[in-house]
Homo-oligomer: A and B are copies of this chain.
C-alpha cells in the first residue's frame, strides 16, 4: 500500500519506495517554487492545523506549504484554553473538524493522539508531533536535507547523532528513515541519554552498522552531524544537566577538526548546543534544513490528497 491517501503517523510506516517518491516529489516542488510562488494545485482544499500544544514553527511551515499550493487554512492553537478545558474529548473535537477541512495536521502533547485521530475521522491526518512519540514530517525533511546535499547516495556515509538520543523524537524518526539506506550511524550522548532498546532492535534487523560513544570527538569521522538539545527537564539533578549541556556543544572550533565536507544539522530551535559562531560556516545547513520543511510538507499534503504533480 502506497503512502498516498493515507495518514502520516510514524516514520516507521514508509517503505524505501515511499521515501524515494516523497524525496522526488519534494525536489520537483522545490524547483517549481523557483518559478512560481503559488502552484495553484489545491484551490478548493482546506487544511486544518490543530495544535493542542503550541509549535509556531511547525504550524507556520504547514500553513505556508498549503498556501504555496494554492490552498486554504483554518487553524486552532492552544485549545487547552477553549472547549477542551471544559472536558471535551479529542474525539468529539475531531469529528467536528472532519467536515470543515480536507486534511488536517495535529500536534498534541499525548503520544498516540494522531493515531486516535486517524482512526476517528475520514480525512487524512498528519502527525505534527505527539508528545514523546514521533514527529515524522521532521524526519522526512531531515532526510530530504541529507538527500538534497547528495549525501544519501554516497557510499560509506556516516551520520553522527549528538545530544539527547534517548528522548529526541526527531532522532527516533530520522533513524527509522535512514534504516532504509546504506549508512553508518554514530550515537554520541551521555550514557543516561543513549539510544532506546527498540531502536537497537530496529537497526540490527535492518542490518545498519552503528556505534555508541560518549565522546563528541567521534564527530570527526562523520559526513553528517545531527545535533539536538539536551533538555533541562529530563534531569532530576540540575548539576548533571549543566555538565552535559556544556559537553555536547558543536562550534566552529570543533567543526574545524572534522571532515571538510561535514554538514551540521539541527531541528531548531536551538539553545547553546550549536554555537552561533557556526551560522555563517559552509557546514551549517540547519537554516536550509528548516526551509526544506516547506517542500516536504507540500509533497506530503499533495500525496495525501492524491493530487498528481
Asked if A291 is at the interface of the complex by the 8 Å CB criterion, the answer is yes
With a CB–CB cut-off of 8 A, which chain B residues contact A268? 88, 92, 96
Give the CA-CA distance A290 to B94 in the complex, in Å: 11
Cross-interface CB contact of A55 among B38, B82, B276, cutoff 8 Å? B82
Give the CA-CA distance A44 to B64 in the complex, in Å: 12
8 A Cβ contacts from A76-98 to B? 76, 78-79, 81-83, 86-89, 91-93, 95-98
By beta carbon, the residue of chain B nearest A270 is B92
Most buried by B among A79, A95, A102, A276: A95
Q: Could you tell me if A44 and B37 are in contact, using CB atoms closer than 8 angstroms?
A: yes
Most buried by B among A48, A72, A89, A268: A72
Give the CA-CA distance A157 to B79 in the complex, in Å: 38
Q: Could you tell me if A37 and B48 are in contact, using CB atoms closer than 8 angstroms?
A: no
Q: Could you tell me if B54 and A95 are in contact, using CB atoms closer than 8 angstroms?
A: no
Q: Could you tell me if B269 and A61 are in contact, using CB atoms closer than 8 angstroms?
A: no
8 A Cβ contacts from A28-82 to B? 36-38, 43-46, 48, 54-57, 59-61, 63-64, 67-68, 72-74, 76, 78-79, 81-82
A56-B79, A82-B54, A86-B269 known; A294-B44 Cβ under 8 A:
no
By beta carbon, the residue of chain B nearest A92 is B269
Asked if A100 is at the interface of the complex by the 8 Å CB criterion, the answer is yes
With a CB–CB cut-off of 8 A, which chain B residues contact A102? 37
With a CB–CB cut-off of 8 A, which chain B residues contact A72? 67
By beta carbon, the residue of chain B nearest A61 is B100
Nearest-neighbour CB distance to chain B for A303, whole angstroms, equals 18
Q: Which A residues lie at the B interface, using CB under 8 A?
A: 36-38, 43-46, 48, 54-57, 59-61, 63-64, 67-68, 72-74, 76, 78-79, 81-83, 86-89, 91-93, 95-102, 268-271, 276, 287, 290-291, 294
| 7 tightest A-B CB contacts, nearest first | A88-B269, A64-B100, A37-B44, A99-B291, A54-B82, A38-B44, A56-B82
Q: What are 20 pairs between A and B in contact, CB < 8 Å?
A: A36-B44, A37-B46, A37-B102, A38-B44, A46-B67, A57-B83, A60-B74, A60-B96, A60-B97, A60-B100, A61-B100, A67-B74, A78-B81, A86-B269, A88-B270, A89-B269, A92-B269, A92-B270, A95-B287, A98-B291
